[in-house]
Structure 1
Amino acid sequence: MKKKLLALLLVFTMVVGLITACSKKADLSCWDTLREMQKVTSGTFSFDIALKVDTTEQTSEVPAGVADALKDLHIKVDGVTQSSKGELTKASMSFKYKLPDSDKYEAITDVIYDGEAYYVNLKTIREFIKGLNDASISPYAEILKADNDYLKITQDDMKFLTQLSGTSVETPDLQVSGDNTKAVQILSNKVITILEKTSKNVKPEMVSEKDGTYTINVDNNNLESFLKSLKKVLESDGDTLYKEAVTEIKKLKNVEPSLVTELEDNQDKFVSSTTKGIDDFLKDFDKDAKGELGYKMNFSLDGKEGSRKSKVDYDFNLKNTETKENVGMSFKGSVDEGNKGEVTVPKESTSLTAFMTSLMSTLGVQ
């Protein structure tokens, strides 16, 4: 796939929510609804992602089998998150997939978090690999064997892996801090503010309202206007909003230090690098972005705190009429805060350290 097509996809990924319809509840504006949705962090959830990538350009970097799968690949994630006083205590997620020539979902794996360790289902991963019927990766199914179906990953295991790598990288912290979640919410709210300010100067208008429903629309007709407005907002308010976010995040006691470090390292170049990316894209917009372009996102939030329900679905489609390349992605998700669900932790598991030690012995690695 040509770089310009990928560049356009990245631009849309960066400015999530280009075409949005959201229910107007009480006195919440479309943007306030987005902000409120950031607070729904526990309950049962379900996500379904469909990818459709069709390109006439062949590349050795993408195996033929993978290219065929991407023409209509579905990934489904179902799970439960449980929290107490803003801290994640337990969670579980199951991952499934559906290929173009299939009418049912097959399991990839499931992951469970008990507040201290993660458990990964190795058995379903092995079955997933075998089900791909690819001779180049089938042998890995035999390698991924352990005494138990589940692989347990603890903080000590992460230290072991860090030492094994022989690098000086910081050992990742497996515990999910509520302050890390708050940090993400702070950053998300700043992005929403930027989009809100951007919308005020986009022509044709990107925001409309009818029968209590807001619609935000960015397509071929106003994409250039949107990006130019976004650039102006970043140049006038980007640095201030970024610094505000860093200041607020640094006040959180248990936020991941590496997150703060990364934000501080990018503080001076955030606006300049982003606006340069917009300029580079706009230079080739007329020449390389010809075709059909659309991004539609619908979301709603209902109920009171503790029993809120949020729904999100969006479709992204990009067709280049010159190269005949097509990129599509759809997403459907829902979160039910009132449904607490259940998280079952495996009674038996194999530690990651024991698994890696056995694996290295099998492979003859010293």
Structure 2
Amino acid sequence: MARIAVLGAGGVGSATARFLAHEGHSVTVVEQFSPDHDQGSSYGTSRIIRKTYTNGLYTSLMGEAYPLWDALEREAGESLFVRTGGLFFAPSGHPELAAIRRALGEHRVPFEELDPTACARRFPGFRLRAGESGVFEPEAGFLRASACVRAQLRLASEHGAQVRAGARVEALEPRARGIALVLAGGEVLEFDRVVVCAGPWTARLLAGHVSLPFTVTRQVYCHFEPSAPLAEFSAERFPVWIDFGTYFYGFPHDGQRPGVKVALHQPGLPTDPHQVDREVHESDREPLRQVCAEHLPGLSPRVVLEKVCLYTMTPDEDFVVDRLPGEPRVTVVGGLSGHGFKFTVLLGRLAAWMATDHPIPWELSRFALARFA
């Protein structure tokens, strides 16, 4: 069995470690912060999971990811995937709606058509405007992101994985007998294989080996206090949703944090992951208040929870899943571009296979580093 380091203990790293440890490898997870920290992209109580995509490749890959999430829930013995159904809408005739219907149909994903009247009947707490229409995907919902990360790290540890928290990697050095990791403070660790999935810190970590065109952006979400009864926004009565015309999106009440979460899936201002403006400003809140006024009349303007997180964007918004050029002992997974958490269990499966030279059953050239050459 191989000695394998996993750099980063977020969604991808925790999944990779779980698969590798379960298969008997000697696994060390190296995390510069504490597990389940809030500095990157894998923290919090909710991330949308859906098969609704304009591109059928992602719809197909989500078909592979769903059984892996189900298996994680069973192994962890806790609820991680809350099935609410998902409402995905835009102005009628919008090209993304047409592409969504086509991708769902081609991959035999069940969905229903909703106009404003049908939506009001189905979800009294949500309002489609005149001229808008949507599709409802019953299999969609949300993942409890932090709980998923914690569960996978726990299961990896139960199979022998070690977690080195508070350990920052300063350099990655390929050597004849293995890959050396030089930690802050000078300690050197050596492994047979390394998986780099350090989110916003990946490009800087690998800068001496490959130029990654990743852009880290500052993203804000807010939870708004309901003015209507909170039950109207419960997971049993309210869906996850995305407006494909504007890319605002939101959730039901998650049962753990106050209020109802609303956010914008558009890249925010570029930032340095070590120097992020973590304060939420009125200019961050106001666009979210406006979308609430348009579509969620049962929410008040009062923010009861707010948070800054990060996206790591690629130019084409596709992921990177590849080996380091010239160094096949290093696997790189990153650039999840704000839509990757629901794929992390599948990406962890792929990274574990790549790190151990297992055949990959899917064609992954779309995610290759060579596309940036």
Q: TM-score, normalised by structure 1?
A: 0.22
More helix by share: 1
Q: TM-score, normalised by structure 2?
A: 0.22
Structure number with bigger Rg: 1
